[in-house]
Structure 1
């Protein structure tokens, strides 16, 4: 089985398996705490690898933060791209990211896991910078300072 960082991500966000279960239920995904525990310990993997994508989405993290094994990460991405029949509405940024992804993918050896990983990571960074830019535009530049339980 594959090692992952699900438990660490949950701990960092101060969430339990029950909290994750409730978040997944908002996406109409039924799962129990013991399954999530087995996934987090690497004792079992979901039959449908899209589950990892759903978990990353509800936790609002990149899949790479949870799945650190490059080969398993690539197998998830390949399965998703092969089985993806549903097309979601995309923002202009997502469309740009897709075209960037496709352009970069056309420039690398698709049989090389390290080359594919570089493309995925670069596109992930671009997405993170876009999200950061949106947050700065919305809230302005600020610095949060923790003081006990308060942020000022």
Structure 2
């Protein structure tokens, strides 16, 4: 927001100078050619500032980072204490221990690719790097993700 305000203030000052308010630099220049070049540069700057201001105003944080209902950290009852996370781009990451991660078991980190379909409230995860199915479907159930075997990762 501060950037937007600063750009708009610079644009306003520059426009007021070109609309009749005398520019100090212009009045100290010796020739009309120099003044003309200077005013041309100021007008180019005004155009650039106007474009920048419109871009700053139209780009919002929501447009820059889309949030998914799946995005977040989860608890997996089949692997107690082991990390589970889903990113808004569909990447699923976590750790595995035997059987869990609560008692100092050695943990193995992993990352899997997934594809989120927000409209259908489904995620398809490729578990094949871990020896599982290639397109395991997870369904959003309000407080987590339910898989076909009945396991539900609860969102933390």
Q: TM-score, normalised by structure 2?
A: 0.25
TM-score by length of 1: 0.25
Greater relative contact order, per chain length (Cα 8 Å cut-off, separation 6+): 1
Which structure shows the bigger proportion of residues in strand conformation?
2
Q: Name the one with the larger helix percent.
A: 1
Larger Rg over CA atoms: 2
